[in-house]
Structure 1
Amino acid sequence: MSKTVTSSAPARGPADHDVRTQIVAAATEHFSRYGYEKTTVSDLARAVGFSKAYIYKFFESKQAIGEMICANCLCQIEAEIRAAVDEADHPPEKLRRMFKSVVEASLRLFSQDRKLYEIAASAATERWEATLAYEERIRELLQGILQEGRQAGDFERKTPLDETVMAIYLVMRPYLNPLLLQNGFDYIDEAPGQLSSLVLRSLSP
């Protein structure tokens, strides 16, 4: 996972981004080695060489640090999805690429490290803000593709847009949510193509 600190996760204290980055880097390493649940803020303080009280100047809790790591991970996935969509010229192909990149990026980042997977699982279970914001951005990206397709005459326009967006998002969701993703490994290879083809047929004008 990237150690780049994003602004979408909760943080506080002095505007010293180098210290935040150092704390997040140490937390990422500890979570990878010992797991999210077994790592304490005291462990992180010892690893970074700060006091626990000093770390609390930047993050209000261990979960806040976990959210920062989670946000970084989700931003990587989102960037890959957007890059794949941007490579296509027409809405149907954009939708196909979105399905494919959602599966590939999520699978790679969520399965790279089983210890860090605990953070993603906690985020999904407890509905952390980083996860909610990510899901909203994915729905907005999907809505943009559908609007473009409707304007171009590629997609039907009778169904309310918000209903269509949510229906397709629910088809994608098993590959966006780490708790659901682990149950679909047997269908990873064929899922993107088959699901996107089914969705595109339902969108035919």
Structure 2
Amino acid sequence: MNVMDPHSATRARIADAAEALFRQIGYQKTSVADIAKACAMSPANVYRFYPSKSAINEAITHRLLDTIGTELEALAAGPGTPAERMRATAAHLFRRDVELFFAEKRMHDMVGAAMTEHWGVIEGFIARVLAVWEGLLREGMASGAFRALDPAATAMSFKQCLLLWTHPILLEDCLGRGETPEGLGQQQQAALDLLLAGVARN
């Protein structure tokens, strides 16, 4: 059984309190004083464990995205052809974005801000997604299902082409203009048809 050291345990307690407040009132309206009060400590003590409010924001965003990253890696390692798993991981990213928008709007807004403002945690998550897709592309090429391409560059192309279905701000804009999750999902599948046809060996 792994026992957390006191420093890590306190950091986790602060993060738990912050996440609960973010979900209740939003990350922008939550102050370090609010987090400190929820933890029964002073703001100065919170700053001993997190150097800034931005560091807390990033820690909570990392928690959320780490869960999604783990889900994507599980799908990539699961059954099905490389093409089927590419499709499944892309669809899962879109589905999780939609779930956040409707069920956890305040968390959705935080991830959107993280992407728009280029928080460091976003770079790590994007690298993780690209690694999943690059691995599946390599597997497909090795099996002869995909033609020989640069796996890293092709994974990046997939990311760029699927941005509409993975960027919280773009998704919010589409839903605000009357698009439905079902319609957007169908459009994503059509885009994936084209992308996967483009890498398939004829």
TM-score, scaled to structure 1: 0.85
Residue 190 of structure 1: aligned partner: 186
Other-structure match for 1:133? 124
2:161 to 146, 171, 174: 171
3-state DSSP class of the match of 1:56?
A: helix
What pairs up with 1:134-173 in 2 under 5 angstroms? 134-157=125-148, 159-173=149-163
Stretch deviating more after TM superposition (129-138 or 108-117): 108-117
CA distance in 1, matches of 2:70, 2:138: 21
1:51-98 residue CA offsets vs partner (Å, 9 max, x unmatched): 111100110111111111100110111122222222223211111212
Q: Residues of 2 paired with 1:163 and 1:115: CA distance?
A: 34
Task: Describe how 1:1-205 pairs up with structure 2 within 5 A.
Answer: 16-157=7-148, 159-185=149-175, 186=179, 187-205=183-201
- Which deviates more from structure 2 when the two are superposed, residues 195-204 or residues 47-56? 195-204
Cα 1:21–1:82 change in 2 (3 A) is same
Deviations 1:26-68 (A, max 9, x none): 1112222222222211111112110111100110111111111
Indicate the structure with greater helix content.
2
One-letter amino acid matched to 2:163: R
Q: Identity, % of aligned pairs? A: 26
Distance (Å, rounded) in 1 between the aligned partners of 2:35 and 2:57? 12
Query: In structure 1, how many angstroms separate the alpha carbons of the residues matched to 2:144 and 2:169?
Result: 36
1:45 partner SS: helix
Please report how far the alpha carbon of residue 110 of structure 1 lies from its aligned counterpart in structure 2 after TM superposition.
4.5
Which structure 1 segments of 5+ residues have no match? 1-13
How far 1:15 sits from its partner (Å)? 5.4
Residue pair 1:84, 1:98 contacting (<8 A) in 2 also: yes
Tell me which residue corresponds to 1:11.
none
| Separation (CA, whole Å) in 2 of partners of 1:33 and 1:92 | 39
Q: Given that residues 80 and 105 in structure 1 are in contact (C-alpha distance below 8 angstroms), is that contact kept between their aligned partners in structure 2? A: no
List structure 1 runs of 4+ shifted beyond 4 angstroms.
none
Q: Secondary structure at the match of 2:50?
A: coil
Q: Which runs of 5+ in 2 are unaligned?
A: none
In the alignment of these two chains, the number of paired residues is 191
1:101-144 Cα offsets, whole Å, 9 max, x none, are: 12112322344222222321221111111111000111111111
Inter-partner Cα distance in structure 2 for 1:143 and 1:15: 39
Is 1:77–1:106's contact at 8 Å kept on the other side of the alignment? no
Please tell me whether the aligned partners of residues 81 and 105 of structure 1 are also in contact (alpha carbons under 8 angstroms).
no
**Counterpart amino acid of 1:183?**
D
